Structure 1
């Protein structure tokens, strides 16, 4: 199978699953309007991702775009454009064994990203002791540091930061925050990526409820 030869049955199945997860996350208020994006890895070095500019509460299997998993380039011309943040998904696929990626604007994680992020430097959110950390599949389920990336206007620059960090940090948690933007999680499939998202959104809610100070540590991004 080549990069562009995708089995129609597999594409429709994956597209239907993406649409169902998109609608469910929209109904929770985590993907308002056209915000957010989801993708799944397909055979043959490709991925299927939600199209740009589509209402996430009304998506169908036809509202998806096939892209190269390692670069984010569209695998074949068509009427739809891939999400503007496709390169971030491809950075994750290129540096991890993720089978699915979810990016949303869930309120508590986004608020934490606003409070811990920096405009020009990579920061990290230190999380310790929460029982919910067990849901992330960490080597050490008692603590982790979630990276908080600068929200560069040029999305490929964010993707380059993400790829560099993940390549240099093989035991990084399956999640990241983007300053003033939102949260991205990944897993072997959409269900696992969503479960990890739910755990981190709940942790962020608890952190905000616990007090005014968040356990952030500034870290300069390695170039």
Structure 2
């Protein structure tokens, strides 16, 4: 990881905070440092005003923070993504209204998006005709158990871009901070479109 990746993550956190996507100190963000460690936002911090010093080194294999400081409660989800996807370089977890509401409304195991040109903001997507399935998992305060369920799901299903936790929010990732940020912005736009579509069809 280069120093600029952490600087880009700090800038992304300020952007997320300005959009109101991580209200009341909610959300957590991280960047891969190397094969062994990531840098994860400290718990209880306002994401819109984070600095480089607010990120804690965490061991990807064990969730241990060598400094003794307390990283986010959802540390285990970040390290899981880095273990599952060696190409993942940054993870963003937000609590947007669109993601949170859709995660409660959608009853299937995945939110399927199709027909939106903005699907092409997601890596590997080349057409609005393709289906984009964003996996949905029931929320759980036991992060270790939740991570295990997600890991088991990933063994038999494609898990790309991100996933939703019911009533909680979106976790997404990318090869670097810029791609993770693009995936977040693209998915949030798609979620807003999908929610508006469902509201209009229900009238």
Q: TM-score, normalised by structure 1?
A: 0.81
Q: CA deviation at 1:211?
A: 2.2
1:109 matched to 2:99? The reply is: yes
Equivalent residue for 2:60?
A: 69
* 1:146 match: secondary structure: strand
1:30 matched to 2:21? The reply is: yes
| Aligned equivalents of 2:154, 2:172: Cα separation in 1 | 13
* 1:72 match: secondary structure: coil
Structure 1 stretches of 4+ with a deviation exceeding 6 A read none
Equivalent residue for 1:220?
A: none
Asked if 1 retains the 8 angstrom alpha-carbon contact of 2:17 and 2:23, the reply is yes
Equivalent residue for 1:197?
A: 184
Asked if 1 retains the 8 angstrom alpha-carbon contact of 2:96 and 2:170, the reply is yes
Question: Quick one: structure 1 residues 213 and 116, their matched pair in 2 at CA, closer, same or farther if it must change by over 3 Å?
Answer: farther
Q: What value does the CA root-mean-square deviation take over the aligned residues?
A: 2.2
Equivalent residue for 1:151?
A: 139
| Aligned equivalents of 2:122, 2:61: Cα separation in 1 | 24
CA-to-aligned-CA distance 1:124-169 (integer Å, 9 cap, x gap): 1111121111121246741121111010121121111222222322
* 1:54 match: secondary structure: coil
Name structure 2 gaps, 5 residues minimum: none
CA-to-aligned-CA distance 1:151-199 (integer Å, 9 cap, x gap): 0121121111222222322x43211000000001100111111111111
**Number of aligned pairs?**
198
| Aligned equivalents of 1:148, 1:104: Cα separation in 2 | 15
Asked if 2 retains the 8 angstrom alpha-carbon contact of 1:71 and 1:91, the reply is no
Equivalent residue for 2:195?
A: 208
Q: TM-score, normalised by structure 2?
A: 0.89
* 1:211 match: secondary structure: helix
Equivalent residue for 1:219?
A: none
| Aligned equivalents of 1:60, 1:190: Cα separation in 2 | 16
Q: CA deviation at 1:14?
A: 4.5
Asked if 2 retains the 8 angstrom alpha-carbon contact of 1:15 and 1:62, the reply is no
- Counting only pairs closer than 5 Å after superposition, residues 174-185 of structure 1 correspond to structure 2 as 174-185=161-172
2:152 to 146, 161, 164: 164
From the two aligned structures, give the one with the greater helix fraction: 2
1:39 to 23, 27, 30: 30
Q: CA deviation at 1:15?
A: 3.9
Equivalent residue for 2:160?
A: 173
